[in-house]
Structure 1
Amino acid sequence: MTENNTTSKVTSYAEGRDLIMERTFDAPRELVFKVFTEPEHLEQWWGPEGWQTTVKKFELKPDGIWHYCMRCEDKDQGDFYGQESWGKSVYHEIVEPEKIVYTDMFSDAEGNTNENMPGIKITMTFIEQSGKTKIVTRSEFPSEEDLKKIMEMGVVEGTASQYECLDDYLKEIQ
């Protein structure tokens, strides 16, 4: 499955069971890396537009856990309003300010992994480009079927919305 797609400044394509998404931000690499690695920053922008994130646990180290909840606070999102979506990530590798490797999973409020949804190994690369930062995210799914399932759920559109929130936040703090 190979498909090139551009959604709101996010370029995405699939290679086998991998989804690659790219986006460039008008901010220095150290700052972009920082807002991905400090919980007080993540709570300001993580999640799609209209959702608020609360960090329950955050350990930025190999085998460390990030456990968080995204809650829809936008009444205009219909049935999503008031809904919670819990996530859990386990970090594998952190190379400041170049790379973060982790496994992302759906979970419940206690941090128990949702076994009905695939865990996704994610490698984020932060590339310096003359004062700007290009993020390349490679998400490795257990199978092509799992990739297709998550794409049908709107992962690219959700990431594009989330990156718009990040873009706005970066403008605020620079």
Structure 2
Amino acid sequence: MENLNEISKRILTLKRTLNAPRKLVWEAWTEADHIVRWWAPAGMNITVIKHEFKPGGQWKYIMPMPDGSEFISEGIYSEIIPYEKIITTADFKPMTEGVVLHVLFEEEGDKTNFTFSVVHATEEYCKQQEKMGFYNGWGTAFDRMEKYLVSEAGR
């Protein structure tokens, strides 16, 4: 059995305190009409092909690239605790495959502490993903999510 120190070498994590209530942040992650508004980097669009938000349910999103190719995001939900936690497998083809996402939502008044962790198969793969721009790529998507949440919270 792997110890926590070994697992910690395979995880990349981003944390944010979002200026939106936890219910809205949860909806942004769990409802297709919200997902299409922020999942992709700024200037890019995404199409939700499948979104079965339940344990064992599949999700698949496609983002058309400027060169005509498609960036495919897909996975299977393994654990869902409403308003607290989502765990899902994930492939982001052609860049990242075989990872597990852990998304945590913690209420703090009218704000949400949001933790996004990606567990990689090996320490080497984790380091490779970090060098490929993990923090910048996801950071850009979460910047877009944050702007979207602020606009939605103000309605």
TM-score norm. by structure 2 comes to 0.87
Residues 1:168 and 2:136 are matched in the alignment: no
Q: In 1, distance between residues paired with 2:102 and 2:11?
A: 11
**Letter of the structure 2 residue corresponding to residue 156 of structure 1:** Y
> Taking CA–CA contacts closer than 8 Å with sequence separation of 6 or more, which of the two structures ends up with the larger relative contact order?
2
1:15 CA displacement: 3.2
Give the structure 2 partner of residue 147 of structure 1: 126
CA 1:142/1:21 → structure 2, altered by over 3 Å: closer, same or farther? Answer: same
Residues 1:44 and 2:37 are matched in the alignment: yes
Give the structure 1 partner of residue 86 of structure 2: 100
Q: In 1, distance between residues paired with 2:123 and 2:84?
A: 28
**Letter of the structure 2 residue corresponding to residue 138 of structure 1:** S
Spell out the pairing of 1:13-162 with structure 2 (5 A cutoff): 15-72=8-65, 80=66, 82-107=68-93, 117-162=96-141
Q: Secondary structure of 1:47's match?
A: coil
**Letter of the structure 2 residue corresponding to residue 152 of structure 1:** K
Q: Secondary structure of 1:27's match?
A: coil
Q: In 1, distance between residues paired with 2:137 and 2:117?
A: 15
1:128 CA displacement: 0.8
1:117 CA displacement: 4.3
**Letter of the structure 1 residue corresponding to residue 35 of structure 2:** L
1:96 CA displacement: 0.8
8 Å contact kept, 1:118–1:146: no
Runs of 4+, deviation exceeding 3 Å: 80-83
Spell out, residue by residue over 1:49-74, the C-alpha distance to the aligned partner (whole angstroms, 9 max, x if none): 121111001100111111011234xx
**Letter of the structure 1 residue corresponding to residue 124 of structure 2:** E
RMSD between superposed Cα atoms in Å: 1.9
Percent of aligned pairs with the same amino acid: 33
Q: In 1, distance between residues paired with 2:10 and 2:129?
A: 11
Q: Secondary structure of 1:44's match?
A: coil
> Which consecutive residues of structure 1, in runs of 5 or more, have no partner in the other structure?
1-13, 73-79, 108-113
Q: In 1, distance between residues paired with 2:35 and 2:132?
A: 23
> Which consecutive residues of structure 2, in runs of 5 or more, have no partner in the other structure?
1-6
**What number of residue pairs does the alignment pair up?**
147
1:170 CA displacement: 0.9
